[in-house]
Amino acid sequence: MKTYIYTATDAQGKTVRNARLQAEDAADFLRKISEKGLYCSNYKEAKGKNGNSIYKFKTAELSVNCRQLSAMLNAGLTLVRSLDILAKEQIKDGPKQIFREVYEEVQKGTSFSDSLKMQGGAFPTFMISMVQAGEASGQMDIIMKRLEENYLKESKLNNKIRGAMMYPIILAVLSIIIVVALMSFILPTFKDLMTEEDMKGLTGFLFAFSDSLRYYWYVYVIAVTVIIFGIRYALKVPSVRFKFDKIICKMPKVGPLVMKVYTGRFSRTLANLYSAGIPMVESLERSAAILNNMFIEDAFIKVVDEVKQGEQLSASIQRTGIFESMFCSIVYVGEESGALDSILSKTADFYEDESDSAIQRLVSLIEPIMIIVMGVAIGTVIAGILPAIYNSMANLAA
């Protein structure tokens, strides 16, 4: 499928600009535009990243939409009618257009899962896999309910992480503002009091830094921008991203706390996929991929191969050394009892509760570091200026 960007006018004379539509080719695109009752004045095929969806759903939005679909399907409405209602209820233009296209594709006979795939990454692969399982089992309303619960819990966890990180971020920004203010506005006022003898060592360095910050501030802005974009680009390189993800997982103090969050998310995803009837191999691949950690994904390539050859899942996971022994023991009990999906679901509940305390402990590690950095920055300025001021005052008194 290709994505076309177009400008068109409807029967009422309303013009739609920079809208997007999925089609096999230009002829198929023009046919779809005609079916919509639009007159297309201009169109082009989107290339590269522009071929992605016009919108990417957040977890909170997915939870709400899945809940609405589940309620409508459970009430006896057909999938086509449910999607039509869902499309009309969307407030934002992006989601409205996406669900309208999904509705039109399903109405033409395309499967629901394929219709979601055609939206250029608007929907996560986990949701598409679950929908495929729902189509195969005929339990779409139950699948939608599970998706709602999954995305609701994921949204709550993301909100907790963002909320917990807010204070350290504020401290970091405050530290930068204080240092810039000291160097740019306060420190220069003492320059006339300094003698040539005073302008040595730490004091001289601070005044030189202050002058460079005042007169060449744009160099610092450019340098920070280059560093930020450089890091972002480097993390897109597979080998660099692999090393970064590995450091995060293995870092003392931080690694075990991060792994609790990963374990809860992995357990929930695997439980949902496996209980929906998706084969274990595919469930493992999807569950590892959803963590967005290349180090874990790489380790699970071997796990998947071993499970294909008949190896026990618990033993294979244990050999990776990624998850803690307690989690591997729980998986072993689930395999032996034949209730792996339900045990994984309960395990996910446990680790999600542990994630809350893990997040708080992570923040408790970051906060003192930020306070120390702020104290060192301010203390350095004071240590460089006060002796010079005392010397100047002594000279004036003499």
State mean pLDDT over 217-227: 92
Query: Domain segments of the chain: what residues?
Result: 2-51, 59-153, 156-398
- Tokens 């504020």 sit at which residue? 170
| CATH fold group of domain 59-153 | Receptor-associated Protein (1.20.81)
State mean pLDDT over 82-88: 91
Q: What CATH architecture applies to the domain 156-398?
A: Up-down Bundle (1.20)
* Whole-number average pLDDT of the chain: 83
Same fold yes or no, 59-153 and 156-398: yes
The percent of residues in the chain predicted with pLDDT above 70, rounded, is 93
Nearest to 198, CA basis, from 393, 389, 394, 398: 389
pLDDT for 398 equals: 55
Neighbour tally for 92: CB within 10 Å:
10
The structure's pTM equals: 0.72
User: Which tens digits make up the pLDDT trace of 258-275?
Assistant: 888 888 888 888 888 888
State mean pLDDT over 214-218: 89
285 class by beta-carbon count within 10 Å (0-12 exposed, 13-18 middle, 19+ buried): buried
User: Which tens digits make up the pLDDT trace of 177-207?
Assistant: 888 888 888 778 777 767 677 677 777 888 8
In whole angstroms, what is the distance from residue 241 CA to residue 236 CA? 6
pLDDT for 42 equals: 74
* pLDDT surpasses 70 at 297: yes
State mean pLDDT over 367-376: 80
pLDDT for 49 equals: 43
Tell how strand 15-23 and strand 39-45 pair up.
unpaired
Least confident of 126-140, 270-284, 380-394: 380-394
